[in-house]
Amino acid sequence: MKRVGTGRGQRPVVSRRDFINGVGVAVGGSFLPPGLAAALAANEMSGYYPPIRTGMRGSHDGAYEVAHALRDGVTFGVPQERDDVYDLIVVGGGISGLSAAYFYRKQVDPNARILIIDNHDDFGGHAKRNEFWHDGKMYLRNGGTLNVEAPSQYSTVAAGLLWELGIDRTRYYRAIQSVQDRYKDLGMAFGVFFDQKTHGANKIVSGLGARPAAEFFAETPMSEKARTDAVRLFTEARDYLPGQTPNEKRAKLIRMSYYDFVTGVAECEPEVATLFNPEVNSLFGTGVDAIPAIYGYEMGFAGFSGMDLPEIPPGLLVNEPGGQHGRENAARAGSGDPDLYFPDGNATITRLLVGSLVPGSMSASTMEEIVTAKADYSQLDRGENRVRIRLNSTAIHVANTNASEVAVTYVQNGEPFRVRGRASVLACWNAVIPHICPELPEKQKVALGDGVKAPIVYTSVLLSNWRAFVDAKVNYIAAPGGFHSTLSLSTPLVMGDYRTSASPDEPIVLGMGRYPCKPGLSRRDQHRAGRTELLTTSFETFEREIRGQLHDMFAPHGLDVDRDILGITVNRWPHGYTYSYNPLFDPIEWAFSTSEERPNVIGRQRYRRIAIANADAAASPHTDAAINEAYRAVGELASVI
Ligand SMILES: Cc1cc2nc3c(=O)[nH]c(=O)nc-3n(C[C@H](O)[C@H](O)[C@H](O)COP(=O)(O)OP(=O)(O)OC[C@H]3O[C@@H](n4cnc5c(N)ncnc54)[C@H](O)[C@@H]3O)c2cc1C
């Protein structure tokens, strides 16, 4: 839903937007802080340090135009030959591509010469780092991939990689122990923002799930009937499908949306169903109309406590390969070690990977020190290194040229270049592969085009303080009618020299999530519609909406958006979460089995010396999936080279 700002959003957000070596960067205060000066000095040669760039990031301008032109039939001329023959050329510098390079060196040849090509100006794919500086201090946030989710369910391969990179879960949990209850200790909890347009009043109500439902809903501006319905749904153990066996009920809930369950079967007002939209948005990129009711049950949503539903049989895809965004048995998903949140999200993993691949690129190699480590981008693509990472380069053609060689053509600064290698891993998105690798069998190309990635926006807002959040007693907020539908203060952390804001008077980075979609359409069409909307929404519109929404939510609690917003980075991901199968729109066996007929399996087959990695190959939007697929792809190549 589009909301009109309050008129307070017209001023530029950044108090002083400096340009340092051609980089637009938000710096509060009048001097260059020593840490940032050091980071920039490390990149003196190239003057290049993308994590501090603000404004429209994620799929930034300049990153996607070549790929779109290729899709539209544009040709790029005769490429120049570059470099000696590599052992491996990886397309895609996300977690999967970087892991593929790591596994190749480990399992095939420790001295292998590897080139990794990525279209963005920074490495990491979705796992990007947003770095703000204010009054000499660094404030971090994830620009995409947030956490290591359900780590106990990681495969030996994925958990092993994290361990080898120095991510020690025991040390991590010990480090955060003293701060993890910071918000709770201040009386803060999960809350819901009810907006004026939908409910007739702007109001944050704190404590859904943390206090009696009747007390929570009594404070909301929902209609009287909706409040009564909600209390019933949340508290009564009622069987909404009486007279049916547990298996019959399950079969019904697999084919029915959670929206239809709540409004049709449980006969609640639509306002009650849409309360769950923000959480479903953040997990699937759509609302409750596009997920089956059974996922709601598995995620512990309201309405099922009296339904006597059967346990999910063990061995199904639901528990493979990690947290499955709702396809999990809730009890099992919650078991094992808790999720890991690093201050810059899973950019910590990509920075550790890059450090291990490219000598001199990172000034530290431990989980704690990497957080504040300097990254030297001038080291990434040097001829003397065995692994090179070439940014701002879009692959446009990948081919087996003879029985022992592949060639990859890419465009950098508008110029086409060609490199040769003994093999290639395509760790880019499935939808791109048929366009860059036309020699693949037709059936495989169709399968690669089957899934549609969910568009997502993660916005990072640097605030001068978070007193208004303490006043409203919330640290995580669902805003069902908001332009951004989820808001969360940075997870309290101490990691090496870095610690998140300890006092409400200190600056903090607020994360806001927007998930453009179009309820009523099929899930794939919702994602397509959202993507179009995203690519046509300017940063200025985002800025206006962000300021308007934060004013509406927090002005009553003391926030002044003109005074308190110090910087904004909008991480736009038109091709975000991998498409995961869903029995409302896909065959049941795709969603609930490891069938070889699933398009992701057909699509990921090796073709001579070209293997396919990336999270899409697993049909699972998760870090461990991206790592597992890299390992499989490298293993497939090892058998033919
Ligand atoms: C906003 C967001 C939040 C997420 N949060 C989590 C989370 O908290 N936990 C979790 O486990 N997972 C999360 N995910 C899922 C995430 O996608 C995976 O965790 C993982 O990072 C995917 O890695 P990948 O390498 O397969 O893909 P990507 O990270 O997308 O990397 C692929 C790279 O290939 C590049 N590429 C594509 N085509 C070309 C081309 N032709 N030439 C050159 N380069 C190309 C892409 O631009 C991209 O940089 C999130 C995803 C998004 C979008």
Q: How far apart are CA 161 and CA 167, in angstroms?
A: 9
Residue ID of nearest Cα to ligand 1 atom 48: 125
- Give the pTM: 0.93
pLDDT at 318: 46
Least confident of 213-227, 320-334, 565-579, 584-598: 320-334
**How far from chain centre, in Å, is Cα 391?**
20
Q: How confident is the model at residue 31 (pLDDT cuts 50, 70, 90)?
A: very low
- Average pLDDT value for residue range 499-528: 97
Query: Does position 315 have pLDDT exceeding 70, yes or no?
Result: no
Query: Does position 371 have pLDDT exceeding 80, yes or no?
Result: yes
CA distances from residue 294 to 249, 271, 312 in whole angstroms, order as listed:
10, 20, 10
Q: Residue 524: which of 606, 415, 473, 599 has the closest Cα?
A: 599
Pairing mode of beta strands 415-421, 565-577: unpaired
Residue ID of nearest Cα to ligand 1 atom 39: 428
Residue ID of nearest Cα to ligand 1 atom 49: 125
Give the Å distance between the CA of 362 and the centre of ligand 1: 21
Residue among 130, 428, 578 to mutate when testing ligand 1 (max atoms within 8 A of CB): 428
pLDDT at 14: 31
Q: How confident is the model at residue 295 (pLDDT cuts 50, 70, 90)?
A: confident
pLDDT at 541: 98
Give the Å distance between the CA of 390 and the centre of ligand 1: 17
Tell which atom from ligand 1 comes closest to the C-alpha of 394: 42
Residue among 89, 90, 145 to mutate when testing ligand 1 (max atoms within 8 A of CB): 145
Q: What is the pLDDT of residues 332-360, one digit of tens each?
A: 555 678 889 999 999 999 999 999 999 99
pLDDT at 633: 98
Query: Does position 475 have pLDDT exceeding 90, yes or no?
Result: yes
Query: Does position 529 have pLDDT exceeding 70, yes or no?
Result: yes
Tell which atom from ligand 1 comes closest to the C-alpha of 410: 42
Q: How confident is the model at residue 44 (pLDDT cuts 50, 70, 90)?
A: very low
Give the Å distance between the CA of 571 and the centre of ligand 1: 13
Q: How far apart are CA 488 and CA 285, in angstroms?
A: 17
Cis bond before residue 321 (omega within 30° of 0): yes
Angle at 231 between CA 226 and CA 237, to 5 degrees: 130
Q: What is the pLDDT of residues 403-422, one digit of tens each?
A: 999 999 999 999 999 999 99
- Average pLDDT value for residue range 457-470: 98
End-to-end C-alpha distance for the chain, whole angstroms: 52
Q: Choose between 283 and 299: higher pLDDT.
A: 283
Cβ < 6 A, ligand 1 pocket: 67, 91-97, 117-120, 125-127, 144-147, 149, 394-395, 427-429, 432, 436, 456, 458, 573, 576-577, 614-615, 621-623, 626
- Average pLDDT value for residue range 145-152: 89
Pairing mode of beta strands 393-402, 387-390: unpaired
Query: Does position 27 have pLDDT exceeding 90, yes or no?
Result: no
The percent of residues in the chain predicted with pLDDT above 70, rounded, is 89
pLDDT at 3: 25
pLDDT at 604: 97
pLDDT at 611: 98
Residue among 65, 95, 126, 604 to mutate when testing ligand 1 (max atoms within 8 A of CB): 126
Q: What average pLDDT is seen over the chain?
A: 90
Q: What is the pLDDT of residues 163-190, one digit of tens each?
A: 999 999 999 999 999 999 999 999 999 9
Which H or E run includes 532? helix 523-535
Q: How far apart are CA 204 and CA 211, in angstroms?
A: 15
Q: Residue 637: which of 598, 613, 602, 609 has the closest Cα?
A: 609
Query: Does position 4 have pLDDT exceeding 90, yes or no?
Result: no
Query: Does position 16 have pLDDT exceeding 70, yes or no?
Result: no
Q: How confident is the model at residue 258 (pLDDT cuts 50, 70, 90)?
A: very high
pLDDT at 23: 33
In sequence order, which residues have a C-beta less than 8 Å from that of residue 500 and are 6 or more positions away? Answer: 179, 343, 490, 491, 492, 493, 494, 508
- Average pLDDT value for residue range 143-155: 89
Amino acid at 142: N
Pairing mode of beta strands 137-142, 129-134: antiparallel
Strand partners, 203: 194
Q: How far apart are CA 240 and CA 452, in angstroms?
A: 34
Q: Contact at 8 Å (CB) between 32 and 137?
A: no
Query: Does position 220 have pLDDT exceeding 60, yes or no?
Result: yes
- Average pLDDT value for residue range 113-121: 98
Give the Å distance between the CA of 598 and the centre of ligand 1: 21
In sequence order, which residues have a C-beta less than 8 Å from that of residue 233 and are 6 or more positions away? Answer: 262, 266, 268, 272, 302, 303
Q: How far apart are CA 583 and CA 592, in angstroms?
A: 8
Q: Contact at 8 Å (CB) between 534 and 576?
A: no
Q: How far apart are CA 608 and CA 605, in angstroms?
A: 9
Q: Residue 118: which of 342, 316, 354 has the closest Cα?
A: 354
